[in-house]
Structures are given as structure tokens and as C-alpha cells.
């Protein structure tokens, strides 16, 4: 993989800049937009970026940092799902706490935002508190966002409890957009200034990158990634007016800036130190780009992936047509086609060949996998396993220089598993998926050295690209994600079955 981003340069620049911002205050509330851990979007569009770079940076500053996690009660009630992990927002809060503790970061508390005594949220609060996690309940702010006098009053921010913190940097994060991070930061600013303390607010958000051009593919890829939020990149007019410098931000931050500035001025009683949304940010990721052409091409590929993703989400009913149409327009804007993703045509061509051979007008599920050496292998659904499992086996066979005719897993192992699924567990879908095949392979490896050689190649699949001619099961999607394979699918189900396709 060609590298376009210098991780070490970014970490050094980012650490220095955050600490400079902290020096202006007794305490800095740092709103963290985007993913603190597992930022695979950033890794894909900035080759060389570590998906956990930001949490590693926070680990480096851990003596100065504590974390507050926000989650919107409405997202808990409707079981909102994080698409990248396939888990609900409340479960993601638990995951986030565990992962932050792994990096020795102090998790101060969880804030339930816009709480209104919702039943499922109350159960979640009980669950946290009974595991020793401090929980604060914040209610909808009176007058927000237009009535600044009501907002900055005892009946506005003053009605919510003050979160007691002890370190100079309070990182405020959450499982996704709309979690209430900004409101929590402003609530804290109100209480800090009532207590006579000099506290400040800044925002740490990776995209859009403020110091690259508006129409740079890396910024357009951000629009594709947030099509469901209807985010649009814009020139920061406030920054241009103040400094005669062109910078990039997005519509929500620019639209909210006048209100936010008035709220901060009302809280502090002084003119706002920030003249623009760009001023509020501390992100230095743009300074880590070392090969612009590599980043551009990686971003174009990410836009194609996002197109497939939103097409699949529309098919599944998760988003409306305007979301997938918006990403399609972005594709057209950059003259991108589905076929520009190298694994798409091999998968479709093999599927068409199988359909022709069968003389049936049915989909033939095929998965194509591009390996680190550029070779593309394919796998099709058979009587024993699905296409994704077959593609994985064919991929690691190639990497291990094992002949295609050699069976890595004996039927003596596979057939009892199929029998177990069908006759003991009553499963309608007896095809073995990726995870089941890998478990079977690991069992074979105990007595078969060839299987062990193949199993050892699994780690080489991290960062590889794959495409399926049909929508994969959730289990297969999650297995590909755990391995680190970037997957896309044509928006077609493999059969007419409604329940057993998932």
C-alpha cells in the first residue's frame, strides 16, 4: 500500500497544538467529533493513518485528560445502530468505556442528554450505576437554540447538574452525531464561570480538513460518509472575513457559529475569543499529508465504497432514497463509476458465468477478494459454504502457495457441523459462513500442517478489498470487519427469503 500520511508527524503536531490551547485556560472542554477509536474512514482516505491514532494521542496526554461520554436518550429508545460495528448506541457506550480504560484513560462519567424518563434509558442508567459508572441526566435546554437569555440562565444550563472534573482537559465524546456533546460542553462552561473558573471550549474534528481545498476528494469523501446527516462542506466565511484566509468547514458548524458565539459571550461576559468555526478547532490532520495524489486516489475509492454502502442501506430500509441519490451525485461529480473499484467486475463476471452455466435466471452469489500482491481470487456459494467463506479460503491458499486442488478442511470436519446446524439446531440456512469456516480451519490446523500454514496468512488480509454480488449476512460482514477487509456489496439479496437472509 502506498503511504500518503505521516502518522508520527501528525501526533507530534496535534499534541503540541492541544497543549497550546490548554494553556489559555484553567480547564479546556474538548468536544470530540467523529470516532475516537477505530476511525477506519480516516485510515482509508489517509493511507498511513493509524485508526487508533487519536486515542493513542490521548493516552500520551492521559495525566491531563479525563473523558465524559454523552449519549442521547432518544437514540437509546429507538435502538439506534452504529453501522461500522453493528451494535446499538447504548452497547457502544459500554464498548467505549472498556476500550478507553485499555488505554489508561480516566472515564469520568456518562451523560444522558435530553433525558425525559424514557423506560429503556432508565434501564440503561441503572445498568451503568450498578456497575459503578457515574451517570448524569441532562434535560432539553429551555429556549435552545434562539433564546440566549433563557439558555444561559438557571432555568437553562443551570437546571442541569454540574459534572465534577479534576483534570485540565475534559474530552467530551459520544457514540455518534447528535449525542449532545456541544450542549454538555456549554453546560459545563456555564457552571465553571458561575464558580469563577476560567474554562474554555474547543472542537477536535478530523473532517472536513480545514486546510485543504473545498473540492479535494478527501473532503468530498466526508460528504459521502455523512450523506444521511446532509452535511455539506463550505468555505468558512467567518474565517475569511476575519483573516482573509480560505478555510473549509461544514454547514452545521457554520450555521451554528453565530448562536454559539453569542452563548459563549453571554456565559463569559466577554467578547468571544473565536472569530470563526475554524478558530474553534484544534485538528492538525492536514499537516500529516505527505503525498497528496495517494490521498486523492484513496478518497475516490472511499467514495465508491460509500456509494455501495448507502445503496445497501436503502435496500435494507435504513435510509431514504435521497441519501443514496446524494452519494450517486457525488460519484458523478468526480466522474467515478462502480467499475473503478477493481474487485467489482471480477465478482460480477464470475457470477454471470455461473448463471449462464446453470441455465437459471437466479443470482449466483460470488465474492471477489483482492490480495496484497494485486491478485484477485473469487469464491462462490456451494452446498457446504457461502461465497465469502470460499473467497477467504481461496485467498489464504494463494498467499500460502497451496494448490487449489488441496482441501484445507476435511469433509469429516465440515459435514458434522452442517448436520449440527440442520438437525440439532434446526437452522434453515445450513451453509457455513466465514466465522464457522475459520473455526473449522483452526481445528484442522491442530493435525494438518498445511491448514496451519494457511491459517497463519489470515493477518495478511488486513486492508484487502472485497466485493460481493449479493448482500452478505451480518455474521459475514462482521467477520470481514474483524479481519480488516474492506467490503462492498451489490444491493441484491441472495434469495427471496425475508428472514433467513440475515
Q: Are 33 and 318 in contact (CB under 8 A)?
A: no
Residue 1 has pLDDT above 90, yes or no: no
Mean predicted confidence (pLDDT) in 309-317: 94
Mean predicted confidence (pLDDT) in 237-257: 95
Which domain range does residue 380 map to? 342-489
Q: Model's pTM, two decimal places? A: 0.91
Tell me what percent of the residues of the chain surpass a pLDDT of 70. 98
| Confidence band of 117 (pLDDT split at 50, 70, 90) | very high
Of 162, 187, 206, which closes a domain? 206
The contacts of residue 393 (CB under 8 Å, 6+ apart) are 379, 385, 408, 409, 437, 441, 454
Q: What is the pLDDT of residue 82?
A: 79
Which one, of 465, 455, 459, lies nearest residue 486 by Cα?
465
Residues 315-350 have pLDDT tens digits of 999 899 999 999 999 999 999 999 999 999 999 999
Residue 368 lies in a domain: yes
Residue 501 has pLDDT above 70, yes or no: no
The contacts of residue 294 (CB under 8 Å, 6+ apart) are 2, 3, 4, 47
Q: What is the pLDDT of residue 471?
A: 94
What are the two backbone dihedrals, phi and then psi, of residue 273, each rounded to the nearest 5 degrees? -75, -20
Q: Are 50 and 14 in contact (CB under 8 A)?
A: no
Residue 499 lies in a domain: no
Q: What is the pLDDT of residue 193?
A: 93
| Confidence band of 287 (pLDDT split at 50, 70, 90) | very high
Of 164, 185, 206, which closes a domain? 206
**Number of Cβ atoms within 10 Å of the Cβ of 56:** 13
Residue 227 lies in a domain: no
Residues 96-106 have pLDDT tens digits of 999 999 999 99
CATH number at residue 64: 3.10.630.10
Mean predicted confidence (pLDDT) in 281-300: 96
Residues 209-218 have pLDDT tens digits of 999 999 999 9
Mean predicted confidence (pLDDT) in 220-240: 95
Find the largest Cα–Cα distance for the chain: 79
What is the pLDDT of the chain when averaged over all its residues?
Answer: 93
**Tally of structural domains, the chain:** 2
Q: What is the pLDDT of residue 271?
A: 83
Q: What is the pLDDT of residue 502?
A: 53
Q: What is the pLDDT of residue 358?
A: 79
**CA 171 to CA 64: how far, in whole Å?**
10
Cα dihedral across residues 139, 145, 150, 151: positive or negative:
positive
Residue 284 lies in a domain: no
Rounded to the nearest 10°, the torsion over CA 72, 73, 77, 79 is 30
Residue 335 lies in a domain: no
The contacts of residue 79 (CB under 8 Å, 6+ apart) are 88, 120
Mean predicted confidence (pLDDT) in 116-135: 96
Q: What angle do CA 258, 259, 261 make, to 5 degrees?
A: 65
Q: What is the pLDDT of residue 64?
A: 94
Residue 356 has pLDDT above 90, yes or no: no
CATH number at residue 355: 3.40.140.40
Same domain? 29 vs 173: yes
Residue 485 lies in a domain: yes
Residue 140 lies in a domain: yes
Mean predicted confidence (pLDDT) in 69-77: 96
Residue 227 has pLDDT above 70, yes or no: yes
Q: What is the pLDDT of residue 63?
A: 95
Same domain? 348 vs 200: no
Residue 248 has pLDDT above 60, yes or no: yes
Q: What is the pLDDT of residue 67?
A: 97
Of 187, 206, 225, which closes a domain? 206
Which one, of 92, 105, 29, 91, lies nearest residue 60 by Cα?
105
Q: What is the pLDDT of residue 500?
A: 56
Residues 358-378 have pLDDT tens digits of 777 677 899 999 999 999 999
Residue 17 lies in a domain: yes
Q: pLDDT higher for 499 or 446?
A: 446
Residues 144-160 have pLDDT tens digits of 888 999 999 999 999 99
Q: What is the pLDDT of residue 171?
A: 97
Pairing mode of beta strands 376-380, 248-250: unpaired
Q: pLDDT higher for 429 or 71?
A: 71
Q: What is the pLDDT of residue 30?
A: 96
Mean predicted confidence (pLDDT) in 376-396: 94
Mean predicted confidence (pLDDT) in 169-198: 94
Amino acid at each position: 500500500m502506498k503511504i500518503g500520511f505521516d502518522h508520527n508527524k501528525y501526533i507530534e503536531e496535534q499534541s503540541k497544538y492541544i497543549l497550546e490551547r490548554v494553556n489559555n485556560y484553567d480547564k479546556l472542554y474538548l468536544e470530540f467529533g467523529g470516532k475516537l477509536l477505530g476511525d477506519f474512514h480516516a485510515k482509508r482516505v489517509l493511507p498511513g493513518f493509524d485508526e487508533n491514532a487519536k486515542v493513542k494521542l490521548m493516552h500520551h496526554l492521559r495525566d491531563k485528560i479525563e473523558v465524559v461520554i454523552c449519549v442521547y436518550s432518544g437514540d437509546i429508545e429507538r435502538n439506534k445502530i452504529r453501522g461500522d460495528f453493528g451494535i446499538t448506541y447504548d452497547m457502544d457506550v459500554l464498548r467505549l468505556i472498556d476500550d478507553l480504560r485499555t488505554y489508561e484513560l480516566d472515564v469520568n462519567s456518562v451523560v444522558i442528554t435530553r433525558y425525559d424518563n424514557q423506560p429503556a434509558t432508565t434501564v440503561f442508567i441503572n445498568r451503568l450505576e450498578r456497575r459503578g459508572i457515574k451517570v448524569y441526566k441532562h434535560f432539553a435546554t429551555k429556549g435552545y437554540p434562539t433564546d440566549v437569555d433563557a439558555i444561559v440562565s438557571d432555568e437553562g444550563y443551570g437546571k442541569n447538574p454540574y459534572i465534577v472534573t479534576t483534570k485540565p482537559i475534559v474530552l467530551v465524546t459520544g457514540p455518534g452525531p447528535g449525542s449532545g456533546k456541544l450542549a454538555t460542553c456549554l453546560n459545563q462552561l456555564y457552571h465553571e464561570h458561575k464558580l469563577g473558573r476560567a474554562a474554555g471550549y474547543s472542537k477536535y474534528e478530523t473532517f472536513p480538513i480545514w486546510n485543504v481545498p473545498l473540492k479535494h476528494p478527501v473532503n468530498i469523501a466526508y460528504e459521502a460518509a455523512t450523506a444521511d446527516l446532509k452535511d455539506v462542506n463550505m468555505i468558512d466565511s467567518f474565517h475569511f472575513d476575519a483573516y482573509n484566509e480560505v478555510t473549509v468547514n461544514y454547514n452545521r458548524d457554520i450555521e451554528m457559529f453565530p448562536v454559539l458565539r453569542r452563548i459563549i459571550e453571554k456565559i463569559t461576559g466577554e467578547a468571544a475569543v473565536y472569530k470563526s468555526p475554524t478558530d474553534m478547532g484544534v485538528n492538525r490532520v492536514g499537516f500529516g499529508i505527505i503525498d497528496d495524489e495517494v490521498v486523492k486516489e484513496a478518497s475516490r475509492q472511499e467514495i465508491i465504497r460509500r456509494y455501495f454502502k448507502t445503496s445497501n442501506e436503502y435496500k435494507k430500509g435504513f435510509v431514504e432514497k435521497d441519501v443514496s441519490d446524494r452519494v450517486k451525485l457525488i460519484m458523478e461529480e468526480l466522474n467515478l463509476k462502480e467499475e473503478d473499484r477493481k474487485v467489482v467486475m471480477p465478482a460480477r463476471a464470475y457470477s454471470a458465468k455461473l448463471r449462464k452455466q446453470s441455465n437459471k435466471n437466479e443470482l449466483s452469489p460470488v465474492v471477489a477478494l483482492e490480495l496484497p500482491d494485486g491478485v484477485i481470487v473469487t469464491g462462490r456459494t456451494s452446498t457446504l459454504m457461502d461465497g465469502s467463506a470460499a473467497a477467504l479460503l481461496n485467498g489464504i491458499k494463494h498467499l500460502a502457495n497451496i494448490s487449489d486442488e488441496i482441501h484445507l478442511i476435511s469433509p469429516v470436519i465440515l459435514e458434522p457441523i452442517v448436520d449440527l446446524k440442520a438437525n440439532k439446531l434446526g437452522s434453515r440456512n445450513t451453509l457455513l459462513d466465514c466465522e464457522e469456516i475459520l473455526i473449522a480451519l483452526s481445528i484442522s490446523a491442530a493435525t494438518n500442517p498445511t491448514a496451519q500454514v494457511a491459517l497463519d496468512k489470515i493477518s495478511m488480509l488486513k486492508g484487502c478489498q472485497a466485493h460481493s454480488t449479493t448482500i452478505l449476512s451480518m455474521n459475514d460482514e462482521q467477520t470481514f470487519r474483524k479481519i480488516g477487509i474492506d467490503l462492498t456489496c451489490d444491493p441484491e439479496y441472495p434469495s427471496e427469503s425475508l428472514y433467513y437472509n440475515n
